[in-house]
Amino acid sequence: MFDLRTVRLAVGDHHRETHDVTIPPFTLGGLQYEADPATVPADFAVTRLRSGFVFALRFDVHLTGPCHRCLEPAHIDESIRAEEYHAFNPEPGAEADMTCEYLDDDRVDTDRWASDAAVLAMPFQVLCREDCLGLCVSCGANLNEGPCDCAPTVEDGRWAKLRELHVSTEERGPAA
């Protein structure tokens, strides 16, 4: 938590400091992820404008959690760069875009902001490695450790035309 009352800023003034932020474990897509370590140093800055404040939060975080394909541990390193604007007198109807949701009673909730920024920075698909093979759909074996003993799946002939279309599209390459 950063208290704006601890700094006196005139229009155009800028204040910057290192501020520790704590990122609690979070659930994303039904899977649990956590920062390691949970508390990281962040560069917090505030600039006073005529119309409001601009807040900036920058930090690096190492996140761990399950791979989306094989459920083995995956590691994600993110460099978070977040900015928020808070208008002193937002126009009616524009409050959501012109006010900082992390500012309450002259205090910026840097922990909640850092946590939200870390969640938003998560990749669409978390993988333990780029070439992760995932789990066998029949027996659940981790295919990264080797092939399983399941019989090969029989292809459904109803999808043959779609497969042909997919192959011909790949042969042509990307559209110009």
pLDDT, position 139: 84
What is the C-alpha to C-alpha distance for residues 123 and 134, in angstroms, rounded to an integer? 17
**Encoded amino acid at 2, one letter:** F
Closest CA to 62 of 73, 80, 75: 75
pLDDT band at 166 (very low <50, low <70, confident <90, very high): confident
Q: Are residues 7 and 72 in the same domain?
A: yes
Q: Please tell me the total count of domains within the chain.
A: 2
Residue 100 sits in the same domain as residue 162: no
Task: Say whether both 46 and 15 belong to one domain.
Answer: yes
Domain of 81, in residue numbers: 2-121
pLDDT of residue 93: 62
pLDDT band at 158 (very low <50, low <70, confident <90, very high): confident
Q: What is the pLDDT of residue 16?
A: 92
Q: Is the pLDDT of residue 151 over 80?
A: no
Question: Strand 52-66 to strand 73-87: parallel, antiparallel, or no bridges (unpaired)?
Answer: antiparallel
Same domain, yes or no: 155 and 109: no
Position 87 in a domain: yes
Q: Are residues 13 and 69 both part of a single domain?
A: yes
Average pLDDT along the chain:
85
108 and 167 share one domain: no
Query: According to the model, what pLDDT value does residue 42 have?
Result: 94
* Shared-domain flag, residues 155 and 113: no
Q: Which burial class, exposed, middle or buried, applies to 143 when counting CB atoms under 10 A from its CB (0-12, 13-18, 19+)? A: middle
Per-residue model confidence (pLDDT) at position 175? 57
Q: How confident is the model at residue 33 (pLDDT cuts 50, 70, 90)?
A: very high
pLDDT at 60: 95
Model pLDDT, residue 23 = 94
**0.75 cut: is pTM over it?**
no
Write the burial class of residue 51 (CB in 10 Å: 0-12 exposed, 13-18 middle, 19+ buried): middle
Whether residues 109 and 148 fall in one domain:
no
